[in-house]
A and B are shown apart, each in its own frame.
Chain A
Amino acid sequence: MRLTLHVWRQDGPNSAGKLETYPLDGIEAEMSFLEMFDVLNDKLTVEGKEPIAFGHDCREGICGSCSLMINGAAHGPWKGATTCQLHMRAFKDGDQIWVEPWRAKAFPMIRDLVVDRSSFDRIIQAGGFVSVNTGGARDANEILIGKETVDESMDAAACIGCGACVAACPNASASLFTGAKITHLGLLPQGQPERDRRALAMVEQMDLEGFGHCTLTGECQEACPKEISIDVIKRMNRDYAVASVRYAEPKEAVGAG
């Protein structure tokens, strides 16, 4: 098929960016969207131009590297799929396709279609873990967890940290991402001791990073390639509210050190 692509080009964080138009021929329905980009980049290289920078790695929807706004939809038109999983069957001959990066204050531009999502890592650093050191764990089967509970926890744990939720949100909020982690750990017995601390710290970090506030528009769950439900946000809000009331900073142990 023949397509016309309009792709965001920007040399770096401080340069001006603009949409460039590229006509492209010989695209097959079996190609993935990123394979179509490979074809375009090869062509640009041969023409002596600079290829388009875009994030990708696993190309099977699990690493969370790929991140494109395709015709205004985060990860493109297929529901429950990442950009790398999107195939050209989704388009037809003669289509115009607009491709832009994730846009959010907390995701600064790096180049072309690549943005910096390290703010997500810092949200995890704030408390998205269970504080256990290696060694000394008791036998895994001593902790009984019902199948339903673990399944629900796994639904939230499936988040790939791609940032589509942020890109799709009119407020650029990271609530779906943060709520997913709070839910994954908060549902499990292992996550209980730090549940209050975690909710407070992660939500605060999210604000510090400059993500917007959630107004439950639900765009995030539509865009999420792992179909994580906004129930995780409700859970996060509940945990946060409870924790704000209940939690006081633990005091330094007397005589520590």
Chain B
Amino acid sequence: MIELKSNIPAGPIDEKWDKHRFDMKLVNPANKRKYDVIVVGAGLAGASAAATMAELGYNVSCFVFHDSPRRAHSIAAQGGINAAKNYQNDGDSIQRLFYDTVKGGDFRAREANVYRLAQVSVNIIDQCVAQGVPFAREYGGLLANRSFGGAQVSRTFYARGQTGQQLLIGAYQALERQISLGKVKMHTQSEMLDVVVHEGRARGIVVRNLVNGDITAHSADAVVLATGGYGNVFFLSTNAMYSNVTASWRAHKRGAAFANPCYTQIHPTCIPVSGDHQSKLTLMSESLRNDGRVWVPKKQGDHRPASQIPDSERDYFLERKYPSFGNLAPRDIASRAAKEVCDEGRGVGPGGLGVYLDFADSIKRLGQKTISERYGNLFDMYQRITDENPYEKPMRIYPAVHYTMGGTWVDYNLMSTVPGLHVIGEANFSDHGANRLGASALMQGLADGYFVLPYTIGNYLAGVKPEKVDVDKHPAFTDAVNAVKAQTNRLLNIKGKRTVDSFHKELGKIMWDHCGMARTREGLTLALEQIPKLREEFWSNVNVPGSGATLNQSLEKAGRVADFIELGELMCRDALHREESCGGHFRVEYQEEGEALRNDDDFAYVAAWEWTGDGQPQRLHKEPLEYENVKMATRSYK
């Protein structure tokens, strides 16, 4: 049985991290090179961690399934990254960023982690600028900021609509530098398919080379997963096509508890679905809500073009419902509000599944040039997809799955319930509670990778002897390799009738219908009947063409979909057990005047699920959440 020990240091919240850094064991510089560390993933979290640990002297091996570390999904982040710099002199501070994040997460995040995140946020911006990240600047040469949802200060740093790209390129360049110095060994097109656990510690991984199909084991003194989120369990999401849960899921099966799986974020501003062929959804950055106004017609079934609906017949519903935050209400709230007006029959566009995001007022006020400078690439992207010009017609947007707050459970040191296995970035559950604020994922990924993990991992490594393993002989490794080979062969030999995608789509529909924006006991119960059947059919009727000895994209996908099916079941179970509404988890039974109704007496805990074997329900463990610095209150953005 696993035990959840959060290892939060004692003492006042603003001293915890400093004190912990002092108390942690250190590995002396000459010894660092004796330790091998495996990092899986090179998005913001993985690339920054791998580069920084290599700089510190560890021997790092980094594995990604992409053909280059620069292609990680982080590259797609558009809007920006938060930091409590208070450059705008508008009253920001570490305390305020901390408070906003805890409140934004609907009081379901760990206070100590969030405080640390706010503290190191300021270092991130300094580090990125030193690397040459071209953040937007004012004419005088100072850094510019914009506002994001759930905040009343302007603390978001950005590089046009390509902030994730520029931050990732910064981290990627730092990583490539360490590769050239021989401190990081990079393995691209290498998909991790298992964690090797020996004597209760993570000692390595099993990897499939996606180009030639070789399945090999790699050993290390510690393993770090930085493998991103699992939003693609819904099939349609804003995530890149290849984002998946496999690394975290295989770790889960090896003993890593999975926390709060049902906490998923539905982003309010995405381009609506256009047909059955749809393969993914495109985000229109939250930053657009700085200057765009969200509205629908007041009347049901009003099919007049937007330009013919006079102002008095429009309902700017976010401004109406949440006057103090207006269009910058947090994502969970804005998404639900959009769904509500569409459910009332006031949605716009095909199928009535859309609301307007209108820039006419801002264009009038600021001029088209300014708007295009701020959001030009997003407007172009919108036009290419929809064939409509957003400078002339308001954008049509609809909520879509975007981010997963849940993930592998980690302690304050970012270590999972498997000693030696650390998890960073979107893959862990740590900092966002039940809802993440915009521009905070990039912050968390880089905080974990540059400023937290490289130090906390030292605390772990200082307690273990560096040890090389002969992976070809060691039974823990050969067994794991054989298990992966067996699964690969099994997938290839089913030779059923249905494509991998058809299963993924069916799963996605079950998840969206029953574990999406509004969840009910009946729906979740039904999903929990449907998913095991789907799983059974998958393993008897999937068709994976081709062989295992070449690049085989169907095979890659089949393994990922198999894991998504199991994860989907756990998400529904988690959502069913959490009989309250909080953040992105909205249970229809628990609401008050349309707003989420939390139940702090019974559910102020992290739900961490332990794997108990194939086809068995996971076992629930609870990490109680204690709020000593922020008073738990009903979240209000009115």
Contact = CB atoms under 8 A, between A and B. Distances in A.
Interface stretch (A139-147, A166-174, A228-236, A243-251): A139-147
Interface residues of A, number: 77
Contacts of A139: 126
Nearest to A54: B553
A164 to B, nearest CB: 15
Given A46-B499, A62-B165, A12 B550 contact: yes
B166 to A, nearest CB: 6
Nearest to B53: A134
B466 interface: no
What class of interface size applies to chain B in its complex with A? Answer: 35 or more
Given A128-B176, A132-B130, A89 B387 contact: yes
Interface in B277-294: 277-280, 282
Contacts of A145: 137, 141
Contacts of B173: 124, 128-130
Nearest to B177: A129
Contacts of B275: 28, 30-31
Contacts of A85: 381, 384-385
Interface stretch (B62-70, B324-332, B434-442, B618-626): B62-70
Interface stretch (A32-40, A93-101, A216-224): A32-40
B71 A57 contact: yes
A215 interface: no
A132 B131 contact: yes
Contacts of B8: none
B176 A129 contact: yes
Nearest to A186: B132
A110 B139 contact: no
A191 B132 contact: yes
A140 B177 CA distance: 22
A111 to B, nearest CB: 4
Contact of A134 (B136, B180, B450, B553): B450
A81 interface: yes
A-side binding surface: helix, strand, loop or mixed? loop
A42 B130 contact: no
Nearest to A27: B277
6 contacts: A48-B545, A64-B75, A118-B188, A132-B130, A134-B51, A184-B134
Q: Which 3 pairs from chain A and chain B are nearest by CB?
A: A144-B141, A129-B173, A137-B130
Interface of B: 48, 51-52, 55, 66-71, 73, 75-76, 85, 87, 123, 125-132, 134-143, 159-160, 162, 165-166, 169, 172-174, 176-177, 179-180, 186, 188, 211, 240-242, 274-275, 277-280, 282, 380-381, 384-385, 387, 450-451, 454, 499, 501-502, 543, 545-546, 550-551, 553-554
Given A38-B279, A114-B551, A130-B131, 16 more contacts: A30-B274, A45-B545, A48-B545, A58-B71, A63-B71, A64-B71, A65-B66, A85-B381, A85-B385, A124-B173, A131-B177, A134-B51, A137-B123, A137-B126, A141-B87, A157-B166
